[in-house]
Every structure is written in C-alpha cells, then in structure tokens.
Amino acid sequence: MFHKEGFKIIINTFLLCVALALLAEYQIDHFWTQKAVQFLFVVFLILVLQFFRNPKRNTTPNEKHIISPVDGKVVIIEEVFEKEFFKDKRLQVSIFMSPINVHVTRYAISGSVIFSKYHPGKYMVAWHPKSSELNERTTVVVENKTVGQILYRQIAGALARRIVNYAKVGDEAVQGSDAGFIKFGSRVDLFLPIGAKLNVKKDQVLKGGVDCIAEF
C-alpha cells in the first residue's frame, strides 16, 4: 500500500524510468552498459516506491499511552523550554527519519486538535539542534483529559521539501491515524509533560503507531 501523497510522484517516476530505459535500449550499443543503466532506473523506481509505502498499523487505543507518531530513531531526550505554545519546560523526544523509513505521521494520542501552525524556513539536516527552530516545520497540539496537551512538530530536513499536515484546529484526532506526511527525510519532535514516564531511550528505533513512547 502506498500513501496518497506519493501517487503523482510514483506515476511520474514510473513513466520517466520507462522512457529512459527505452532510450537506453536504442541509444547505448554496449550490451552490459545498456543493462547497467536500465538497472539503475529500476533501482531508483524501487527507492521511490519504498519511500511512499504506507503499511497498515494496528494501533490499540490507550488513553494513558503516548505512541510514536513516526518510524525512526530517537536522537534527543531532554528537558527544554518550549517557547512557541507552552512557554514552559517540557520533555522533548525527537525522532529522526532516514529516507528509507516510513514517512507517515500518525497521531500520538486521541483528542482535540487545539493548535496547528505552519512555519516556512530553512532546510538544514534534520538532526541539527537548531532545525526545530529554523527549518520549515508545522506545530500541532492535541489535548485530551488523561494526558493533557501534547505538542508534536514535523520538521523538514536537508532533502525534505514539503511537509503535509492534515491536522486542523477543531479536528478530533484518533490515536494512530494518519496526521500527515513529510517527503524525503525529516524529523518529528514531541513535547510531553515533565511527569510523563518514558518507555524509550536514545538511539532506540521506533515503529510509528505501535511503540509506546511514554505513559501516565
């Protein structure tokens, strides 16, 4: 299954690869060079297909759990001052997604979307400490009665050139459901209440919509 955000790119990439493979068939006389070039087009198409894959995840709703919104590796766990929305100290958990990870963003908790804002910005590498403040990004806050308010931030990386955010103020978020997509490499930051009990550690690899990051 592929994500709807990739349909147009997948079709265009397929047509381009087919056209270039046919061109190589008629323009390159050396047999092995011809096949090597065609093989590279096939590999490129497979990479694009892999990037836009959207595997089904069976999320078991739990009001006391904060689940991972994305696939990737935990790169930051620290207390920080969150200055955009909360304007106080929060526990930040940052997850880096490489180009080969699934790039679907899922809701970490169920509840009401009370804040959603897009910020244009730069395209520094996603693991850079300043990327959460300077890169293109979206900030979304979801609130429920059990865990309170959770902020997550989609951050574009050096390769990511488009962030797709479905969350709108007033929407009812469903834990594990599709909240957006980031194209070609990125990072997601979660800002949790200080009292949250963490179930993850730095460098741990997480599966979005499945793994529990913290609980109350």
Is residue 68 part of the annotated active site? The answer reads: no
Read off the pLDDT band of 129 (50, 70, 90): low
State whether 45 and 70 are in the same domain.
Answer: no
The answer to whether residues 38 and 87 belong to one domain is: no
Q: Residue 95: inside a domain, yes or no?
A: yes
Q: Name the least confident of 20-24, 161-165, 200-204.
A: 161-165
Question: What would the two tokens of residue 52 be?
Answer: 């836009």
Asked if residue 56 belongs to a domain, the reply is no
**pLDDT > 70? residue 132:** no
Where is pLDDT greater, at 111 or 161?
111
Catalytic residue among 110, 131, 132, 186: 186
For residue 79, count other CB atoms closer than 10 A to its CB: 10
CATH of the domain at 131: 2.70.70
Beta-bridge mates of residue 74: 95
pLDDT one-digit tens code per residue, 25-38: 888 888 899 899 99
pLDDT at 159: 60
Q: Domain check: are 193 and 124 in the same one?
A: yes
Residue 136 lies in a domain: yes
Residue 133 three-state SS: helix
Together in a domain, 147 and 194: yes
Q: How much is the average pLDDT of 172-185?
A: 88
Domain final residue, candidates 51, 75, 90:
51
Q: Which domain holds residue 31?
A: 4-51
Based on the fold, state whether residues 96 and 194 are members of the same structural domain. Answer: yes
Is residue 136 very low, low, confident or very high in pLDDT (cuts 50, 70, 90)?
confident
State CA 172 to chain mean position distance. Answer: 20
Q: Does residue 137 lie in a domain region?
A: yes
Residues 66-124: tens digit of each pLDDT: 999 999 999 999 999 999 999 999 999 999 988 788 889 999 999 999 999 999 876 66
Integer Cα distance of 75 and 77 in angstroms:
7
Residue that the structure tokens 């488009």 belong to: 162
33 and 88 part of one domain? no
Q: Residue 92 domain-assigned?
A: yes
Over its C-alpha atoms, the chain yields an Rg (Å, rounded) of 19
Length of the chain: 216
Mean pLDDT of all residues in 27-53: 87
Establish if 132 belongs to a structural domain.
Answer: yes
What is the full DSSP assignment across 3-63?
A: -GGGHHHHHHHHHHHHHHHHHHHHH--SHHHHHHHHHHHHHHHHHHHHHTB---------T
Name the token pair of 156: 């574009």
Q: Are residues 27 and 86 in the same domain?
A: no
Q: Which two tokens stand for residue 146?
A: 């059990």
Query: 1 exposed, middle or buried (CB, 10 Å; 0-12, 13-18, 19+)?
Result: exposed
| Residues 39 and 71 grouped into a single domain | no
183 in the same domain as 124: yes
How much is the pLDDT for 92? 96
Cross-strand partners of 88:
82
Domain count, the chain: 2
45 plus 72 within the same structural domain: no
